A and B are shown apart, each in its own frame.
Chain A
Amino acid sequence: MTNEVTAEIRTAHILDMAAEGKRLDGRGPDEYRPISIEPGFVATADGSALVRIGETAVVSGIKLEPGKPFPDTPNAGVLTTNAELVPLSSPMFEPGPPQPGAIEVSRVVDRAIRAAEAIDLTRLCVTPGEKSWVCYVDIHVLDHAGNLIDAAMLAGVSALAHATVPAKRFGIAESDYPLDLQHVPTECTFVRLGDTIVVDPTVDEEQAAQGRLTVATDELGRVVAMQKGLVGAFSPDDVRDVVRRALVHGDRMRVLARGGRA
């Protein structure tokens, strides 16, 4: 259990090390912790993945159900992303309604999936204006050791990449078919520690951070979403540098999300 005094000492130490380009766990400023993906982790889901980034573990499950399209988009299916930061995953989380942190993770991931047009929502329309698929992306954090946004995003797209539309089960088509992932967005999160900007922060680094910046990119090299969080600031040059780095890490993660080896 970390109390406030030790947290402050650790913060000072993390900042001192960062000034020399070093990190507590021995990584370089531009180095991720090891990433692993286990697709199909949950058999009851229509698509799922367990993603680990270092000690952080996140499981995502996709569920598709027939529903009604929104009146303003009668030719499109509905996509809903929800992240649960359950108290099992960290001493910092308490039971109760979703906290701002969980809502931010859900919304940042949701925005990237939408903006990148990861799935073609028009293909999820069954009868325009009347019937369409509702695609739920539920993200469950199991072990919060930092950088939930990147882990949640990777779990979400990995689950989508392996998802099946249960058309037969709901009597909508003769057989089930794969949910086509047309673009693969990934998120890369950085935090500022003094003059150094490090990728893939741990919990301690997030607590020491003077600003956090998340950049979502896709395989076409487009930036599809960004989110600045925590207290702190970034210069335009910082942002340009972070975007360049996010594209490199993103391409590596995309290979993993598709089931390949990077």
Chain B
Amino acid sequence: MGSVGAKEVPVLLSPEGLRVDGRRLDELRPLRIQAGPLHQADGSAFVEWGANKVMAAVYGPREVHPRHLQQNNKAVIQCKYNMAAFSVDERKRPGLDRRSQEISKVIAEAFESVVFAEEFPRTSIDIYIEVLQANAGTRCAGLVAASVALADAGIPMVDLLPAVAVGKVAGEIALDLKKEEDNFGEADLPMALVPQSGRLVLLQMEGHMTPEELSKALDLGVVGCKSIYEKMKGALRDRYTVEPSAAAEAA
């Protein structure tokens, strides 16, 4: 990353303990989730998280492409995470790069842990994540969007998958890093939680942390995920709640 103009290290933490955007260390950026904005997909979701804008769509269970990936005992879960050329400061060349492929893989594996894939043998559940505007934490935003899109598509799952990145800025453990903090911070630890079991199905880390800091980061991430979980459920409720009067008319 790294933008052209911003070469000086900004003050990441004020003496009062506030971050570049005025948040406390344990505070999330504003998060808005919309379930089902797309018409062609079987399920979809749009996530605006801080300055991130991410769209996810789910197709399936449907025929497997390419055919040789087909499994006789369960559905294959395929994920494509893609960044729009204009989603970052310096234009990104369109198409899959190594970073996108790795993110696609870990996200697909996270969902394989919660989707009841054995109910749909010989099919594919295809997850597409398009990052339209990026500001750190896009894999987590993509995961949250994809999870709501899977639920919107009616795919049976153990649970929704809230996700968030915890990092270290100016020596302190902080929840949900934004771009300046990610660029100049000391560590980044994205995670996805299965709230029902309390287990993590996506976990990556880059940077420097002591075991004590790591332990603190995990605890902070779990708390963050639980608050994101409520917003995900809220988005699905907003889409599928039927007003009593409308329900009576339909009956």
Q: Closest A-chain residue to B58, C-beta based?
A: A88
Task: Flag if A61 contacts B39 (CB, 8 Å).
Answer: no
- Which A residues are CB-close (under 8 A) to B41? 88, 91, 143
Bound form: Cα–Cα A63–B118 in Å: 45
Task: Flag if B86 contacts A138 (CB, 8 Å).
Answer: yes
- Known contacts A88-B130, A143-B39, A145-B39: A94-B86 contact under CB 8 Å: no
In the assembled complex, B132 has its CB within 8 A of some CB on chain A: yes
Task: Flag if A91 contacts B86 (CB, 8 Å).
Answer: no
Q: Closest B-chain residue to A203, C-beta based?
A: B40
Q: Closest B-chain residue to A82, C-beta based?
A: B94
Task: Flag if B5 contacts A169 (CB, 8 Å).
Answer: yes
In the assembled complex, B55 has its CB within 8 A of some CB on chain A: yes
By size class, the interface of chain A is 20 to 34
Q: Closest A-chain residue to B55, C-beta based?
A: A142
Task: Flag if A143 contacts B132 (CB, 8 Å).
Answer: no
Bound form: Cα–Cα A70–B126 in Å: 41
Q: Closest B-chain residue to A94, C-beta based?
A: B65
* The one of A82, A144, A169 that contacts B40, using a Cβ cutoff of 8 Å: A144
In the assembled complex, B38 has its CB within 8 A of some CB on chain A: yes
Segment at the interface with B among A41-49, A108-116, A242-250: A41-49
* The one of B40, B87, B91 that contacts A91, using a Cβ cutoff of 8 Å: B40
- Which A residues are CB-close (under 8 A) to B80? 87-88, 95
In the assembled complex, A152 has its CB within 8 A of some CB on chain B: no
Q: Closest A-chain residue to B39, C-beta based?
A: A55
In the assembled complex, B177 has its CB within 8 A of some CB on chain A: no
CB distance from A197 to the nearest CB of B (A): 25
**Interface hits, A129-160 → B, CB 8 Å:** 136, 138, 140, 142-145
- Which B residues are CB-close (under 8 A) to A142? 38, 55, 130
- Which B residues are CB-close (under 8 A) to A89? 38, 40, 57
In the assembled complex, B88 has its CB within 8 A of some CB on chain A: yes
CB distance from B64 to the nearest CB of A (A): 12
- Which A residues are CB-close (under 8 A) to B89? 44
In the assembled complex, A62 has its CB within 8 A of some CB on chain B: yes
Bound form: Cα–Cα A43–B135 in Å: 10
A81-101 to B contact mask, C-beta < 8 Å, 1/0: 010101111110011000000
- 10 A-B pairs with CB atoms under 8 Å apart are A44-B51, A44-B86, A63-B86, A82-B85, A84-B94, A88-B129, A88-B130, A90-B40, A140-B132, A142-B55
Known: A44-B86, A61-B85, A88-B41. 18 other contacts (CB 8 A): A41-B132, A44-B87, A44-B88, A44-B134, A44-B135, A59-B84, A59-B132, A61-B87, A88-B130, A91-B40, A91-B59, A136-B85, A136-B86, A138-B85, A138-B86, A143-B39, A144-B40, A145-B40
Partner-A contacts on B (CB < 8 A): 4-5, 38-41, 51, 53, 55-57, 59, 62, 65, 80, 82, 84-91, 94, 126, 128-130, 132-135
Sorted nearest first, the 3 A-B pairs with minimum C-beta distance are: A61-B86, A88-B128, A45-B86
